[in-house]
Amino acid sequence: MQERAERTRKALLMAAATVFDRLGYDRTTLAGISEAASVSRGALSFHFSSKSALADNVQILACASSRARLEALKGRNVPALQTVIDMTHSAAEQLAEDPVTRASMRLAVERGTPHDPAVHCMAVWCDVFRDAVQHAAADRSLRSGLVVRTVVRLALALVRDAYDAQRHEESPREWLTQVWGMILPSLAEEGCARRLHADGDLPPSGRGDGHGGGQRNDEECSRTHCR
C-alpha cells in the first residue's frame, strides 16, 4: 500500500512538472495535472493540498536532484577548473533533458521564488559552482588574479546560454565545447588550458566512459605548476 502511494506521488510530481514546464504556473490546473498523471482528483488531493504545494515540491525535488548531480562530480583526481567545466555540461544537460528542472526554473521566475538553494535551482548551481571555482583558485588551475564571483557568474551564464542554444536546435554540449575552447586560455593557469577537456570529462554517471582523461590532466597539470 505504501509503495503504491509513493508511486502515485511520484507520478503526480512528474505530471505536474511536465504541465508546469509547458504551460507555466498560472495556466496549470489541478484537473490538468490529475489527467496527465492518470490519477483521480481525490488521489491528487490526498497527496497535495493545492497547486502551490505541488509547485513547491517540484522545485524542492529539482534542487535536491541538481545538487546531488553536481556534487557527484567533486572529489575526482582532476584539476578543479575541469570540475567547473564538467558542472556546466552536466547542468546544461539536466536543464535540456529534465522537465522537473525546467519546470522549477520557470516556477522560480513566475512565483518570485527567493534565491534559496532549497527551492531555487539557480541558487544551488551558484553555491556549487562557487565552491568549485574557489578550489580551482586554490589548486592553481584557475589563472591567478581572477575574481571568483565573476567566474561563477560566467559559468551560470554559460549554462543558461547552452539551454537557449538547445531551444534553437543547437547541441548544448557542442555549444559549450566551442565556448569553453575559446575562453579557457584566458581562465586557465599558463600551461593548463591545452590539457583541460572543453567537452567535459564526466564520470560514467554523467557521460561516456570517463576513464583515464581526468587523471591524465591532473598529472600533466601538476608538472606545469597548475596544482
Of 78-92, 127-141, 153-167, the one with minimum mean pLDDT is 153-167
The backbone region for 68, taken as left when phi is positive above 0, alpha when psi lies in -120 to 50, beta otherwise, is alpha
Task: Tell me the per-residue pLDDT of 207-224, one tens digit each, with 9 for 90 and over.
Answer: 443 333 344 444 444 443
Q: Which pLDDT value is given to residue 221?
A: 46
Check residue 204 and give its pLDDT: 53
120 has a pLDDT exceeding 50: yes
Cβ neighbors of 13 (< 8 A, separation 6 or more) are 54, 57, 58, 61, 100
- Of the given ranges (47-61, 64-78, 199-213), which has the lowest mean pLDDT? 199-213
Whole-angstrom distance, CA of residue 136 vs CA of residue 148: 9
Instruction: Give residue 220's pLDDT.
Output: 44
pLDDT, average across residues 91-101: 94
Give me the amino acid identity at 97.
E
- For residue 165, the model assigns a pLDDT of 83
- Tell me what pLDDT residue 203 has: 62
Alpha carbons 92 and 112: distance in angstroms, whole number: 22
Which range has the worst mean pLDDT, 53-57, 128-132, 192-196?
192-196
In sequence order, which residues have a C-beta less than 8 Å from that of residue 142 and are 6 or more positions away? 80, 81, 133, 136, 151, 187, 188, 189
- Average pLDDT for the chain: 88
> How far apart are alpha carbons 197 and 166 in whole angstroms?
21
- Please state the pTM of the whole predicted model: 0.86
